[in-house]
Amino acid sequence: MTDLLLQLFGTFFLIGLFNFGGGGAMLSLIQSQVVTEHAWLTEGAFTNIVAISQSTPGPIGINCATYVGYQVMYDAGFSHAAGMLGSAAATFAVVLPSFLLFMAIVKVFEQMRKHPVFIGVMNALRPSVAGLIAAAAFILMFNVNWNGMVPSISVISDNFRDWTSWALFGAAFVASYFFKANPIHVIIAAGILGLLIY
């Protein structure tokens, strides 16, 4: 059990250390570690975690870490108490790097923020964050397998079961992008429609 807790801590510490741009940008990194690297969860289970993390109060990255920590320990055959330890380890690990970095730079931020190097780094990070958020959306929709130089792309069937799934996706996109609908209303509507349809 200790080995798995340490693995969870180390994995989420790295995720927290390289997170720039918040939870949405963090999703692709969490997916690569939790689904691809360690195979702790399937794509479908990870998508469920993202959906739950997005629709519960709090930052999505921290919610995701909490849920994954519990699920990994429970799926490994440990008790609910061990699952809560997994939640605590993953959650603490994902926030620790930000806390340490913040404490380190808070005293010198005023001097640094006008420095050309700092400005250059921030200018480079902004488009990278947009790319990470786009990658997170792509990861939740498609499986990509590389066979040589040509990728094989397929839709994740757990996430898009039928035409209704695509219609819900399209409606949520149109409502939020074109009509600037409140995300809370979109999440509640999707939950209600999911209960009625599925």
pLDDT tens per residue across all 198 residues of the chain: 899 999 999 999 999 998 776 777 788 889 889 998 999 999 889 999 988 888 888 888 899 999 999 999 999 999 999 999 999 999 999 999 988 988 887 777 777 778 888 889 888 888 888 888 888 888 888 888 877 777 888 888 888 888 999 999 999 999 999 999 998 899 899 989 989 988
DSSP 8-state code for residue 56: S
**How is residue 29 written in tokens?**
């990194």
Domain ranges of the chain: 2-144, 163-197
DSSP string for 138-179: HHHHEEEEEETTEEEEEE-TTT--SHHHHHHHHHHHHHHHTS
